[in-house]
Structure 1
Amino acid sequence: MRNPSILRGDSGKITNREEEHTTAGDFLGHRPPTARKNGAGAECISDRIVRVSRDLNDLNAFHKVRSSPQRYERIHGFFQTELDALEEVPFEIYDQNGKIDYLLLKNWLRYQLIQLQYHAEKDQRVLSLLGGYFPIRLAHIIDARQRVDDADGKQTASRIVEVLQHIDMVKSRIINGKEPVEHDIALHAANTLEELKEHMQEWWSFYKDYDPQFTYWVSDPYPKLDVALQDLRNTIKRVVLGIEPTDEEAIIGEPIGRAGISAALEVEMIPYTPEELIEVGRKEYRWCEDEMRKAASELGFQEWRNALEYVKQQYVEPGQQPRLVRDLMKEATTYVKKHELVTVPPICEDTIQMFMMSPADQKVNPFFLGGDSIIVSYPTSTMSHDQKLMGMRGNNIHFSRATVFHEMIPGHHLHMHYLSRHRAYRQLFSTPFSIEGWAYYWEMLLWDAVSWPKTPENRIGMLFWRMHRCARIVFSLKYHLGEMSVGECIKLLVDWVGHEQATAEGEVRRSVMGGYGPLYQAAYMLGGLQLYALRQEVLRSGRLKEKDFHERFLRANQMPNELFRALVRDEELDRDFKSEWRFYGGQER
């Protein structure tokens, strides 16, 4: 592989257009060379980020078992070594983008160590529930297969028989209810058992029939182990969580707690407490209610919920939703191009694909999704009558109009097009405050734009989603603080926003079971408010025109929005940068 050499500008600083030759040690994952005082010999920061990302992918692929002590030690050592090495690099050798990259990597490495410790502590509680012995024993067996250690079938069979005995003891203890178990630990344990089961299946397929001696000894105990792991998982679900193993409707999550939220806020550079952010959500909701009343009054309704019900009834007939979505995509794309708000590359516009969402996926995503493609959520003929009506009402014409430009152009689809083409190495620092914040920011801009046509029905559709974002801040943070149950979250979406019961359940299921971080749902509005406030700053200062601001954001790739603010304002940075941007002041409308 060819490695471009370093180039220098007049300042002598390393820029991120500039790369250097790397040593063999770098590619082997050894500590990178530290920089000399004048910057010569320093590892290009963008190269360092790519290397760290690739090394971590390799480590995670090799050390498969999440709860394995060996995995923890190896990955903890990797993060700590990289963080220590980064601290030795002279910060001043980099240009502004290089300093941003340095801060991004430092911030990310610190958070990875925090997350690793958090998961290790939770894994330890899971191991306690599962008796400790057998998960560790199975992890050792899987690790040995990864190293391709010499296999002793007779010894391995004996160990599996011991594991089976321990699983029986754990199952009996759980059934007899000898000790209380927190639901989040029980859920984590069930997921750990599923993970072990899958890895053991791969382990068995690696040796089966290829090694006759191994197969001879292990062919009897292994199938019993496979059944026992599934049976224990089912027992935990049934006895501790109170759900049937096949129940796909249950909504059970793992609240992360105040400490977890605080750590997430720190890495996202949001210098607010959870309570302050909840109040932002409430304040924005009150503004939305006032605007809902105005729109409802224009339609002749005294109660905005009655006007919302009127809007929900305006849906297209079965089979027509793809056509509606196609036309709405064209409308939004034409608008931003005509008004020169952002550059839309032809490839980005011309290669959009559309798919239909399956009924099963609609339980988690009741509204359509976007990004690389548009995935349309709409009832199918296989659904019940009530499900069909709720799905059609929830994806009505006016809700869909506001959703399309959020998901495609100028929202996610345009953003993702740029993300894969400009400073792509920064995708390691993926943040919903950038991704979802950008898409929501356009909801705010088009609401403000006089030239974007808006009937009262259109405005109600837009406000529905804004109220939804407000509710997301409140229910997601309160859920993770342990102050709201799943049922209360669903009720909030129905009462505050006017969701259908089914769509409210889908949204909460997605929030707590969809693999999202604790701040993801809050990040839509909060990230959008950050970008909205920053836009006001830069336009007032005359630093950038609106289109230039948008394209600086797209080409910067991903980072906490406060670091983008420092980048676009060319602020003086130091290696101990601390978040202090109080971006919300009840935004000017």
Structure 2
Amino acid sequence: MRSPNLPPIEGFQANEDNPEPRRRTAEPEHISDRITRVRWDLQNLQDFYNVRNSTGRCNRLMVFFTEELHSLEFVPFDMYNQDEKVDYLLLRNYLRYQILQLRHDADQDQRLISYLGIYFPMRLSGLIQARQRVDEADGKQAATWCAQIIDHIKLARDRIANKDEVEETIIALRATKLVAALKSDVQEWYDFYKDYDPEFTYWVAEPSIRLQDALEELNDTIKRSTPGLSSADQDTIIGSPIGRAGILDALQVEMIPYTPEELIAIGEKEYAWCETEMQKAASDLSFPTWRSALEYVKDQYVAPGKQPHLVRDLIKEATEYVEKYDRVTVPSICKETLRMYMMSPEKQKMNPFFLGGESIIVSYPTSTMSHEQKLMAMRGNNIHFSRATAFHETIPGHHLQWYYLMRSRPYRQMFFTPFSTEGWAFYWEMLLWDADDWPKTPENRIGMLFWRMHRCARIVFSLKYHLGLMTADECVELLVNWVGFERANAEGEVRRSVMGDYGPLYQAGYMLGGLQLYALRKEVVDQGQMDEKEFHDLFLRANQMPVELFAALIQNRKLSKDYESRWRFYNYSKD
């Protein structure tokens, strides 16, 4: 008989009829636990197979995603509650899209390997992954391989310098990122053995330095030989349109049952509404055109050094408003801990306006900028533009949402979607436009409409860019002509759109996500199914998901394992 003071054996339980312990039957993996496991399994794999653009990494991730997707076929979907069914569909869509992305990346990498040559990237990847496995190191053999790799790097460098290998700028840019990553990985490979393995250090110390130098020279050669990548072309906008098929793949995972052409039509229709409203505000100010009124509003900016105080006061105004009218729950710590930073001049080239979330990052000129840059930054972040930006980026927008993302169903952060995140912040732009109790001067209205026109333009230029119907320069012109952007700010906006780490639908997600939430609000709040505050709080606590799945969640819509998007949320016939 076991002493009562001894702890039970892990994994076993006693049977009253049989004193011998027996193994417990493992419980099925809960779907939320599965999502958490997939997230961290993926992180482990990406950390271990850390050579980006390598065939080994791509193949291993493809196996992982495929196996996880296949295993979902055996979960007890019909026994799940509504939240669990939503989690299943989120994970299914995520895995499907990751597989599509890997295939797209593999196609890009084939062109990359053709450009650089196959030998040295694969050989370096092999060395780095062998180090990850902690294989036995042969210093003499490694030194021989280093010498061979250096010869192949020089061949690639000479081909590129002599223009024997000419590739699209985007592939050349991808090559510079790969070569820089390999250079960093080679340093880590050598440092792992350095001095701890005296024989390895003896053989490899000198070849590793030459290898690093060869990679650096190759990177410099690619930049010098490729228009748009040299130090003289730092302001060039470089992107890679993904085509109509790529957009449709992205729309499927985001559960948007519209074609790219239909979405462009939505952007154009919403723009026409904005232009009409902009003209009304201009007339209220006695200006003949909305463009002349916009120029007047742009010149209403605060002096250098005063922008942080303006933004602070605008944040306080919006926070006090949503609390006074009880429109959403704002936790006290969320208000208390909002931090502010200033954006560097270099980063303002990519982000000419505020950024928000956990903190607010304010764009405004510095003393190091040229006179023209200073004026553009001040006009682009004038008082009335800033008023709308402040509540979009902080409370009730991104900062409030970020607070909930960290605390309510945080495992769903893996399913980040701009239609939820940016859609939520833009949705508040729509609500406060409608609200009679949110004070709006004609100048304020112009400031709000500027951003709303901007969201319309984002749908049009981003989708047309990825369809191959507009160049980056034409996107800049559209922002200048349609919205009234300062040219430098328009260039920053397009550069951020096509060169940043954004998906092809990110820019369209602002207005389209907001329109989805606005339409859903009409279905549930205006029809008396729940009050406004409950609707907003439920959305924040649901964390990340396509808006259609949030609609299915709160309306208890019937869901199946093979559920596909079908919600046509936009009314084309509205006035």
Match in the other structure for 2:427: 441
Following superposition, the deviation at residue 480 of structure 1 comes to: 1.5
How many residues are paired up?
Answer: 554
CA separation in 1, counterparts of 2:131 and 2:58? 18
Following superposition, the deviation at residue 209 of structure 1 comes to: 2.8
8 Å CA contact 1:171, 1:235 repeated in 2: yes
CA separation in 2, counterparts of 1:22 and 1:77? 30
Match in the other structure for 2:56: 70
Following superposition, the deviation at residue 41 of structure 1 comes to: 3.1
- The one-letter code matched in structure 2 to 1:228 is A
Q: After superposition, give the CA deviation of every residue in 1:352-377 in whole Å (9 maximum; x if it has no partner).
A: 11111111111111111111011111
Match in the other structure for 1:465: 451
Q: After superposition, give the CA deviation of every residue in 1:89-120 in whole Å (9 maximum; x if it has no partner).
A: 12111000000001111111111111111111
Following superposition, the deviation at residue 276 of structure 1 comes to: 1.1
Following superposition, the deviation at residue 433 of structure 1 comes to: 0.4
Q: After superposition, give the CA deviation of every residue in 1:452-481 in whole Å (9 maximum; x if it has no partner).
A: 000000000001101111111111111112
CA separation in 2, counterparts of 1:153 and 1:253? 42
8 Å CA contact 1:187, 1:241 repeated in 2: no
Q: Which residue of 100, 103, 111 maps to 1:114?
A: 100
CA separation in 2, counterparts of 1:231 and 1:498? 43
Match in the other structure for 1:123: 109
Match in the other structure for 1:492: 478
CA separation in 2, counterparts of 1:342 and 1:150? 60
Match in the other structure for 2:528: 542
Q: After superposition, give the CA deviation of every residue in 1:408-447 in whole Å (9 maximum; x if it has no partner).
A: 0000000011111111111110101000000000000000
8 Å CA contact 1:533, 1:587 repeated in 2: no
8 Å CA contact 1:157, 1:217 repeated in 2: yes
Q: Within the alignment, does 1:566 sit opposite 2:552 as a pair?
A: yes
8 Å CA contact 1:184, 1:255 repeated in 2: no
8 Å CA contact 2:524, 2:530 repeated in 1: yes
Task: Write out aligned runs for 1:339-378 (5 A).
Answer: 339-378=325-364
CA separation in 2, counterparts of 1:193 and 1:544? 55
Deviates more, 1:170-179 or 1:211-220: 170-179
Q: Within the alignment, does 1:255 sit opposite 2:222 as a pair?
A: no
- The one-letter code matched in structure 2 to 1:230 is E
CA separation in 2, counterparts of 1:540 and 1:328? 29
Q: TM-score, normalised by structure 2?
A: 0.94
SS in structure 2 opposite 1:478?
helix
SS in structure 1 opposite 2:135?
coil
CA pair 250-22 structure 1, distance change in 2 beyond 3 A: farther
CA separation in 2, counterparts of 1:352 and 1:175? 50
CA separation in 1, counterparts of 2:440 and 2:211? 61
Q: TM-score, normalised by structure 1?
A: 0.91
8 Å CA contact 1:390, 1:500 repeated in 2: yes
Following superposition, the deviation at residue 238 of structure 1 comes to: 2.5
CA pair 529-124 structure 1, distance change in 2 beyond 3 A: same
Following superposition, the deviation at residue 184 of structure 1 comes to: 2.4
CA separation in 2, counterparts of 1:587 and 1:562? 21
CA separation in 2, counterparts of 1:346 and 1:243? 48
8 Å CA contact 2:227, 2:233 repeated in 1: no
Q: Determine what percentage of the aligned residue pairs are the same residue.
A: 64
CA separation in 2, counterparts of 1:279 and 1:239? 40
8 Å CA contact 1:368, 1:374 repeated in 2: yes
Q: After superposition, give the CA deviation of every residue in 1:133-158 in whole Å (9 maximum; x if it has no partner).
A: 11000100110111111111111111
Structure 1: runs of 5+ lacking an equivalent: 1-20, 24-35
CA pair 353-204 structure 1, distance change in 2 beyond 3 A: same
CA separation in 2, counterparts of 1:232 and 1:275? 42
Following superposition, the deviation at residue 319 of structure 1 comes to: 1.2
CA separation in 2, counterparts of 1:179 and 1:145? 32
Q: Which residue of 27, 34, 38 maps to 1:48?
A: 34
CA separation in 1, counterparts of 2:169 and 2:375? 34
CA separation in 2, counterparts of 1:259 and 1:157? 46
Following superposition, the deviation at residue 224 of structure 1 comes to: 1.9
Match in the other structure for 2:17: none
Deviates more, 1:135-144 or 1:224-233: 224-233
CA separation in 2, counterparts of 1:485 and 1:352? 38
8 Å CA contact 1:343, 1:551 repeated in 2: yes
Q: After superposition, give the CA deviation of every residue in 1:296-350 in whole Å (9 maximum; x if it has no partner).
A: 0111111111100000000001111111001100100011111111010101111
SS in structure 2 opposite 1:541?
coil
8 Å CA contact 1:187, 1:254 repeated in 2: no
SS in structure 2 opposite 1:293?
helix
Match in the other structure for 2:159: 173
SS in structure 2 opposite 1:250?
coil
Match in the other structure for 1:316: 302
SS in structure 2 opposite 1:181?
coil
Match in the other structure for 1:228: 214
Match in the other structure for 1:523: 509
Q: Within the alignment, does 1:382 sit opposite 2:374 as a pair?
A: no
CA pair 139-451 structure 1, distance change in 2 beyond 3 A: same
Q: After superposition, give the CA deviation of every residue in 1:480-512 in whole Å (9 maximum; x if it has no partner).
A: 122211111111111111111111111111111
Match in the other structure for 2:270: 284
Match in the other structure for 1:480: 466
8 Å CA contact 2:115, 2:165 repeated in 1: no
Q: After superposition, give the CA deviation of every residue in 1:75-102 in whole Å (9 maximum; x if it has no partner).
A: 1111111111111112111000000001
8 Å CA contact 1:476, 1:522 repeated in 2: yes
Following superposition, the deviation at residue 221 of structure 1 comes to: 1.9
Following superposition, the deviation at residue 246 of structure 1 comes to: 6.9
CA separation in 2, counterparts of 1:572 and 1:162? 61
8 Å CA contact 1:160, 1:221 repeated in 2: yes
SS in structure 1 opposite 2:167?
coil
- The one-letter code matched in structure 1 to 2:131 is R
8 Å CA contact 1:433, 1:561 repeated in 2: yes
Following superposition, the deviation at residue 571 of structure 1 comes to: 0.5
Match in the other structure for 1:203: 189
Match in the other structure for 1:265: 251
CA separation in 2, counterparts of 1:512 and 1:342? 34
Structure 2: runs of 5+ lacking an equivalent: 1-9, 13-24
